[in-house]
Structure 1
Amino acid sequence: MQNFAILLIGFTLFSSLLLAFTQIRGSTEQEGIFSRVSAIVLLLGISGLQLAHLGFLNGTHDTINSSLYLCLLFIIAPSFYGFSIVLLGSEKTKQPAQFLHYLPALVCLFLPNTIIYPWGFLGAFLVGTGYLVWIAARLYQLKEQRSRFKAELFGLAALFCIAVLVILLAFSMPLIAERWFFTLYSILIASAVFMVMLVLMMSPKVIENVSEVAKAVYAESTLKNIDEQATLQQLDKLIINDKLYEQEDLKLSTLADLLDLTTHQLSELVNTRLNKGFSQYIREHRINAAKRLLIDEPSASVLSIGLSVGFTSQSNFYAAFKELTGIPPGKYRRQENSTS
């Protein structure tokens, strides 16, 4: 079991650094500095915990009974909260005030080692429980949208179950041998990272999509003075007749400007009236166009068709096509040709 835990620690370290690099490259100004910092701190905090576990299990060093380790424990929950407030559409507090969530972690650096284990640990997990309840409540409010995110919600449910297991493990700490506790804790952390990687592979745009829906669900309506039906007709004209979906860099803000709307208004309109996010809406039009071209232009390569409808790479085209049709584009073409 210990060797298995060490193997998973290696996986966690590699995956966390990869995700941190991806987050740095893919972050946007709309996220806010607190959310961007929290995402990076979360991944670095997880890496720090797993490095401490690796040293303890290998017997090379013991930092688990140090104030630094306790600080890392207290960092995880507020960091995940900071990342989630954008994902779940609830970033309302001013940015400087949000950093107060990290105050308990800073205090831990000055605590005497005598109270770190097990009482400091239990305190960290109690704080984590509070954040977990908040996140669960926010996710529950999205229950009406669950049909749109079946795979994603499966991953989130699995993450929630892992978090519950961590809490149960924490409260059984006085009853479990120290080595067994950190072995199991390492495995649960690695399991959570694995679920994140799995969800991102299944749905690369999950963060963008869920965030867009959450903002539309929680926000006060911005469409009070908008002729929604007329605007939807204008949107259809731009997308279907003018084929704006062919622009690979098409953004929500671009369409909003053309419709004389704000990005929040257009996002809410698409989410509430079409019951889908903006990204999904554009992907569907691109895939529908690709399906027609696969039949109408048999000599054209699958890649050229994908690029012509607005996808930036073959992998993005294949993933989106399979997500919406259940089969790869090449197989779709063969099936349609065989039945015609």
Structure 2
Amino acid sequence: IEREGQVFWVYNRVQGLERVAEYVRKLMPEARVGMAHGQMSETELETTMHKFWHGELDVLVCTSIVESGLDFPRANTLVVDQAQMFGLGQLYQLRGRVGRSDRQAYAFFVVPDAERLTAVAEERLRIIMDMDYLGAGFQVAMEDLRLRGAGNILGEVQSGHMSRVGLDLYLEMLEEAVGRLKGTPSALAAETELTLGLPAHIPASYIDDGRERLRCYKALTSAAGGAAREEAALSMRDRFGPFPEELNNFLAVLDFKQFLTELQVQRADVYRDHVRMFWPGGQTAVHPERIVQLAAEMPGARLHPPAGLSLPLAGELSFGEGLQKIRLALEGIRASAS
């Protein structure tokens, strides 16, 4: 308050909130204290928040109703009373209510006895203290999911062990099971496993910060399609300059891998002078007879029974251009190609 700021005092029980407000008034009699919670009438709550916004209140004693959707630039201090009773996501959201301008802000998480906290409560507070860097929200969400479990999607029970299967895989399994019950034929879908025989990565000499390099890897590999990946790559080039050869190779491999996955290729070995691909039994993306035909028509191509094909990369082309040429040749063996 001496720094001309305002204070959030969060206590997440409506019963007893008046007692807490009275306690705050005794702590600082000269402070103007208001109260806000979800059981107040709409008019009363709006009036209180309006006063706090316009600086007519110094301290707002409230429940976690303020954890999201509010922006008070003058708020520079947060006190979370009985912090052990809040979830990890709630603590992270509450901490974001202060420090929303250029003035220094402080968040205090108060517990009755640090020595007698439950193991889960202690871990929640440790995580929220450790993850104080910009962009930590995703990691906080994953830690919260790890602590609480992903839940039972088909029932009311909200506890589980996501780490045993993984949420994405669980949803895929669920979709396949529903499809089988409906009698819908399921297409073979598996990400192609690549073995690389050439340097294809983001060099440390290009991005020396390991954390930033990891973010760039994530942006490129998690892109939904070629357009999104190109946008991420352009953003990298704007920040760090022209791409080295290793990074150009990496981008070409990512696009080619996505294409091979569409063709249901199980495994591929990628070298500077050739590409070797293997299809699993039961694939439906390509015509086997067209694979044989392509091997007979393209110079340097070889078959690897029972379901493998090796195609050469033109030496006069760059690596990316060579992969693009192979991609054009493989378009003709698709089951959907005329």
Query: Is the strand fraction higher in 1 or 2?
Result: 2
- Tell me which interval the TM-score lies in, with the shorter structure as reference length: under 0.3
TM-score normalized by the length of structure 1: 0.24
Query: Is the helix fraction higher in 1 or 2?
Result: 1
Larger radius of gyration: 2
- Relative contact order, higher structure (CA 8 A, sep 6+): 1
